[in-house]
Amino acid sequence: MAMATMRIMTSRMMNISPSSSSSSSSSSSPPLATQSLSAPPSSTNLPLRTIPGSYGWPLVGSIPDRLDYFWFQGPDTFFRSRMEKHGSTVFRTNIPPSFPFFVGVNPNVIAIVDCKSFTHLFDMEIVEKRDVLVGDFMPSVKFTGDTRVCAYLDTSEPKHAQIKNFATEILKRGSKVWVDELIGNLDKFLDTIESEISKNGSSTYLPHVQTFLFNFLSKSLIGADPAVDTDIANSGAFYLNLWLGLQLLPTVPLRIIQPLEEIFLHSYTYPFLLVSGGYQKLYNFIEQHGKEVVKRGQNDFGLSTSEAIHNLLFVLGFNAFGGFSIFLPSLFNTIASDKTGLQARLREEVRKISGSTTRLGFDSLKDMELVNSVVYETLRLNPPVQLQFARARKDFRLASHDSAFDVKKGELLCGYQPLAMRDGKVFDDPESFKADRFVGKGKELLDYLFWSNGPQTGTPSESNKQCAAKDYVTLSASLIVARMFQRYDSITGDSGNFTAVEKAK
């Protein structure tokens, strides 16, 4: 089971690889007129079209789609082929899990794969987000202590504001130590990588990345040092991996030996009992060593002890640890495998602004346009969360670039983000990795970078579902890149491995 969980991480990491192209020009096509987060584009002047596609026969109609998604095509080809077949970026299809193994889970969705229509997923006046984190399927609440944590709450539910504001406060509190913990634990990670390369000629870095992330995030978000508990220090990341994996296995294509994957991994939900021991240890760790943060949830935001801890665990494990575990390997692979001279440009920018020894901080990043652009471009091509869901709160008219579609109340929208972020009407040469796409005037394109459940230019609040740590994620990733090029002249590797590092001269 541990291997299956690691496979989830690596399959997500390698699902879509950026092109080796690293052009110096940003998008030459004018972007769409900027739209407010709460005001999707108008459909007034667009021709009305019936949403193409079909769900097939009741019950059995979803089976061919399920096999295509998990087995014969994989998600990217699944969505691309249907977009091309229907000549539309909005269409009806089925998303697994589904009958016969998940009775009561409705696989019918309206798929959205372009930037313009994607913005409707963020408009909380016309859509709701209640229990649709991974579509109509929802992992058992036993995985979160019989608590519907913030990710499953709609903005109309009073508890959402309490918990979202609690999460925002956690980040503000953590900002006091965030940079120091990030840099300190990153340096330990890089020391380990250097040692392994010296001994073995290469280093498989994902396990070390997760140790680095678990220690850094525990101290920054929870205010608790894993070192105080030997079991948590040694196995905390492992417990989180298993907890994440068991929840997501029914929805994630691993592309391993078929039909064994369909029979054993996608045919049923796994019981919480299999990970309950590790989850309880993580709960106890936060309860005993994160008391200050837990009390803040109780006293300032009206949460019970269990509500505060289960939401903290979800933020730590699902949002932060899980998201970074997918994103950072994509970022490392992008840089380490580049053959276009990108590393020399990054090194020059970092050292021109901060030197090779200056202590880095978020302020150091303001003028590192290339560093920041590389982070944004990696997020564009490899968003950590590929699917975004929302359910129509009422009947409304959805607009794509060229058509309008009527959506009925209760219908489930499914945005496939990797394809939407390759929208050729917004991004020039959209399939290619362009290191400085978001430099200079290219920053206007941040309006259409949707990795965080909203545009990069949006502001997370209690009234929307945008990631509370949106800015912390991008700033932290940029700090990691900057620190690596303070420390090294070059980094060599491929997907999942570093094979050589040349220390700064």
| Cα–Cα distance for residue pair 109/73, rounded to 1 Å | 18
What ranges in 87-127 are assigned the alpha helix state H? 115-118
**Alpha-carbon Rg of the chain, whole angstroms?**
22
| Cα–Cα distance for residue pair 370/350, rounded to 1 Å | 9
In the numeric block, the tokens 């890089």 are attached to 190
Give 119-176 as a DSSP string: GGGG-TTTEE-TT-TBTTB---GGGGTT---GGG--TTSHHHHHHHHHHHHHHHHHTT
The answer to whether 290 touches 224, Cβ cutoff 8 Å, is yes
Identify any residues that bridge with 416 across adjacent strands, giving them in sequence order: 387
| Cα–Cα distance for residue pair 61/54, rounded to 1 Å | 9
The answer to whether 94 touches 66, Cβ cutoff 8 Å, is yes
DSSP 454: B
The answer to whether 474 touches 331, Cβ cutoff 8 Å, is no
Give 190-202 as a DSSP string: HHHHHHHHHHHS-
In the numeric block, the tokens 């840099």 are attached to 183
Give which of 56, 46, 261, 251 is closest to 136, Cα–Cα.
251
Q: What amino acid is encoded at 80 in this protein?
A: R
Q: Which residues of 35-64 are buried (b: 16+ CB within 10 A; e: fewer)?
A: bebeebbebeebeeeebbbeebeeeebbbe
Report the Cα–Cα distance between both ends of the chain, in Å, rounded: 44
| Cα–Cα distance for residue pair 247/92, rounded to 1 Å | 26
Q: What amino acid is encoded at 277 in this protein?
A: G
Give 52-79 as a DSSP string: PB---STTTTHHHHHHIIIIIS-HHHHH
Has 467 been labeled as part of a binding site?
yes
Pairing of strands 412-416, 108-112: parallel
**Which run of H or E residues covers position 92?**
strand 90-94
In the numeric block, the tokens 């999707």 are attached to 40
Q: What sign does the dihedral 145-151-157-159 (CA atoms) show?
A: positive
Identify any residues that bridge with 109 across adjacent strands, giving them in sequence order: 93
The answer to whether 246 touches 275, Cβ cutoff 8 Å, is yes
Known binding-site residue numbers for heme:
467
- Which residues participate in the annotated binding site? 467
